[in-house]
Amino acid sequence: MTDRRTFLTAATGAAMLAVGARGAMAAPNTPAAPLPVNDKSSRYRPAGRFGIGGTQVGSNHVPTPSDQAAGIMQAAWDEGVRYFDTSPWYGLGLSERRFGTFFDGKSRDEFIISTKIGRVLVPDAKVGGTKVGNWMLTPPMRHEYDYSADGVKRSVEQSLQRMGMDRLDIVFVHDLSPDNKDMGEKWTEHFEKAKTGAFVELTKMRDAGVIKAWGLGVNTLPPALKAFEVADPDIILSATQYSLVKHADALNQLMPVAAKRNASIVVGAPLNDGFLAGGERFNYAAIPPEMRAKRARVAALAQEHGSNLRTAALHFAMANPTVSAIIPGARSATQVAQNAASIRAKVPAEFWAALKREKLIEDKAPVPS
């Protein structure tokens, strides 16, 4: 029997030769308003502009029991979410396994899945049940970095097996970035391997129709900008870099480059790791004093204009035309419903004008019309 890796290689070569729990604001028995969608583009964008990230399903920061994870997924589905992002790194396979359990029996054509490559998981009895990074529940797996072409095939094969699926939509090259503590400044050495390995293989898979798009999934700007210099990514998953309270660098550096290439940005962590929903972390670390003060002022202005901080933050992240989707995480079904309700809400134009007047957001930052 042909194994998955052989299938992926053969499919690529052959094709190339051929050249809703209801929203929290909806009344009972009233269908919730549709979530925003993308217009058709010459370069692939996920259909839905509002998705969900899989970090919390993978027990990020605190353990997420399986029934709670299932409730998060079901709430997202019931709200109309059809774009789901995960990674082998999230809980060392836990997030992908839970995704697969949830999607079992659903038509594959009904939803979009993105996952990531860069870490290949290897069974290791010494790891199971221990805390690894931010992951509080982990199976007996350890990770090995591999940004080679073969590493891409191995990782994709493993992800498909964990999720019980026959194909992926988007694949992101994950954490090839200086903020990855395993790499630090040596990230450029891994990048060089990816340039001739992962980037080339993913381009072949895309051009062959094995996947629809590829890009980088990173928390800093330099790797994404460098990827555009040496390859042809479709989508960059840029986490923590474009938000209501932190966006100047991404706005001025990443967005123009992506737009020029007709590529798009998926905004990960648009709430800055829960910070803009009232959490006590900012981008997976302690809250800088200036950010605490900025959050307080923006929240006060939102309240004055009949809105709230979460709603304003999600609308701001989605307003940039280069952004194809935002994928906030959720700790519970309630948070999913709150996020969806925020997306369906309206934010007064006067609020955005007040933010610009007080220089709380960049003057040229796109805001909802």
Tokens 């549709």 belong to 34
Q: Give the pLDDT of residue 31.
A: 61
| Beta strand 112-117 pairing with 213-218 | unpaired
28 torsion bin: left (phi>0), alpha (psi -120 to 50), beta (else): beta
- What are the CB-based long-range contacts (under 8 Å, 24+) for 290-293? 291/245, 291/246
The dihedral formed by the CA atoms of 49, 55, 61 and 63, expressed in degrees to the nearest 10: 120
Q: Give the pLDDT of residue 13.
A: 45
Q: Give the pLDDT of residue 331.
A: 95
**What dotted CATH number matches 4-357?**
3.20.20.100
Name the helix (H) or strand (E) containing 174: strand 170-174
Q: Give the pLDDT of residue 30.
A: 57
Q: Give the pLDDT of residue 32.
A: 81
- How is residue 98 annotated by DSSP? H
Tokens 């040229």 belong to 364
What is the C-alpha to C-alpha distance for residues 86 and 113, in angstroms, rounded to an integer?
A: 8
Q: Give the pLDDT of residue 15.
A: 40
Q: In what order do the strands lie in the sheet with 323-327?
A: 52-53, 83-85, 112-117, 170-174, 213-218, 235-239, 264-268, 323-327
| Beta strand 119-123 pairing with 141-145 | antiparallel
Q: Give the pLDDT of residue 336.
A: 98
What is the C-alpha to C-alpha distance for residues 207 and 96, in angstroms, rounded to an integer?
A: 25
Structural domain spans, the chain: 4-357
Task: Give the chain's residues under pLDDT 50.
Answer: 1-28
Residue 169's SS3 state is: coil
Q: Give the pLDDT of residue 129.
A: 76
Q: Give the pLDDT of residue 18.
A: 36
Query: CB atoms < 10 A from the CB of 239, how many?
Result: 25
* Cα–Cα nearest to 236, from 343, 322, 156: 322
pTM of the complete model: 0.92
For the chain, how are helix, strand and coil distributed in percent, rounded to 5? 40, 15, 45
Report DSSP letters for 301-353, one per residue: HHHHTT--HHHHHHHHHHHSTTEEEEE---SSHHHHHHHHHHHHS---HHHHH
Q: Give the pLDDT of residue 369.
A: 87
